Amino acid sequence: MQINIKILWIFYRKILIPAVLFSLLTTLPQGLNFKNFSLGFLFIFPLMHYFIYELRLKNEYLFYANFGFSRRQLWILTLIFAVSLKLIATFI
């Protein structure tokens, strides 16, 4: 279990930093609050996943497949993370 979390951290740290920065940049003109940030994050996080892992680093999916994570599972986890952040922001 702990190995899976470490592998997912390796996967998501490449996406998380640019997604947070671009979400902050898109939030600034609208006013910096958590709801606006989560809306930007909802769209930018999957886009970063696409640009980084589908276009730039296609072969890295093989590394994650060796640990039992398919491409579909990684996409589903990305979408769940983005939608859950948006839902948390909606109800706060």
Provide the residue range defining the domain that includes 57: 5-89
Tell me, what's the pLDDT at 31? 86
CB 53 within 8 Å of CB 60? yes
CB 24 within 8 Å of CB 84? no
Q: Say yes or no to pLDDT of 2 above 90.
A: no
Tell me, what's the pLDDT at 18? 94
Number of structural domains found in the chain: 1
What number is the average pLDDT over the span 20-28? 93
What value does the mean pLDDT of the chain take?
A: 93
Q: Which residues of 64-75 are buried (b: 16+ CB within 10 A; e: fewer)?
A: beeeebeeeebe
Query: pLDDT digit string (tens) for 47-85?
Result: 999 999 999 999 999 999 999 999 999 999 999 999 999
